């Protein structure tokens, strides 16, 4: 038991003591612990400090291991998110630009038009639907040049 622990223990006993007999017991315990500490050789004192420091190092090692595990989990989550992003990005059209009714337009995305689904790539091949979308001012198209 180190000096700090002894002091805390004695203070706890003191707080619990309410009469002279209990206080004498606390005082006797304090004297006994102080004598035991005073009787330690310098090597024993050093060894006690080494044990205490090794305990602190072990605690820090545990924290480091936990942080490394959290880092590993965070890296896995980030890699998964990047893979999902890349997968989604691969499905997005690469700037589809076409001419419709003499106007250069960019197809922004696919549409649901008159009961049919059209991807951006399918729209690029269907002038009739493009002309209708341009006519109604659909957000699926952006006019680049008039």
Is 80 in the same domain as 130?
A: no
Is 60 in the same domain as 106?
A: no
Is 70 in the same domain as 136?
A: no
The number of domains in the chain is: 2
DSSP H helices, the chain, are 3-16, 20-38, 42-91, 120-124, 127-136
Give the residue carrying structure tokens 């008039």.
146
Residue 127 has which token pair? 């002038």
What are the pLDDT tens digits along the chain (146 aa)? 666 777 777 777 777 766 777 777 778 888 888 888 778 888 888 888 898 899 999 999 999 999 999 999 999 999 999 988 888 766 665 668 888 888 899 988 889 888 999 888 888 888 999 999 989 998 888 888 76
Q: What's the pTM value of the predicted model, to 2 decimals?
A: 0.39
Is 80 in the same domain as 11?
A: yes
Is 32 in the same domain as 67?
A: yes
In angstroms, the Cα distances linking 27 to 7, 11, 31, 142 are: 11, 11, 6, 89
Is 46 in the same domain as 105?
A: no
Is 48 in the same domain as 68?
A: yes
Q: How many CB atoms lie within 10 A of CB 78?
A: 10
Is 42 in the same domain as 15?
A: yes
Is 60 in the same domain as 118?
A: no
**Domain extent for 131:** 96-145
Is 59 in the same domain as 102?
A: no
**pLDDT, tens digit (0-9, with 9 covering 90-100), for 23-50:** 777 788 888 888 887 788 888 888 888 9
At residue 1, the 3 state secondary structure works out as coil
């Amino acid at each position: 038991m180190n000096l700090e622990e002894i002091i805390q223990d004695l203070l706890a006993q003191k707080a619990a003591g309410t009469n002279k007999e209990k206080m004498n017991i606390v005082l006797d315990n304090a004297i006994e612990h102080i004598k035991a500490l005073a009787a330690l050789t310098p090597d024993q004192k050093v060894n006690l400090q080494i044990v205490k420091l090794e305990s602190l190092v072990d605690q820090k090692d545990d924290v480091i291991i936990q942080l490394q595990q959290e880092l590993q989990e965070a890296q896995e989550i980030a890699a998964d998110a990047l893979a999902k992003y890349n997968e989604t990005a691969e499905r997005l059209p690469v700037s589809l630009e076409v001419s419709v009714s003499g106007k250069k337009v960019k197809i922004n995305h696919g549409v649901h038009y008159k009961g049919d689904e059209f991807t951006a790539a399918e729209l690029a091949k269907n002038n009739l639907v493009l002309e209708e979308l341009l006519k109604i001012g659909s957000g699926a198209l952006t006019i680049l040049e008039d």
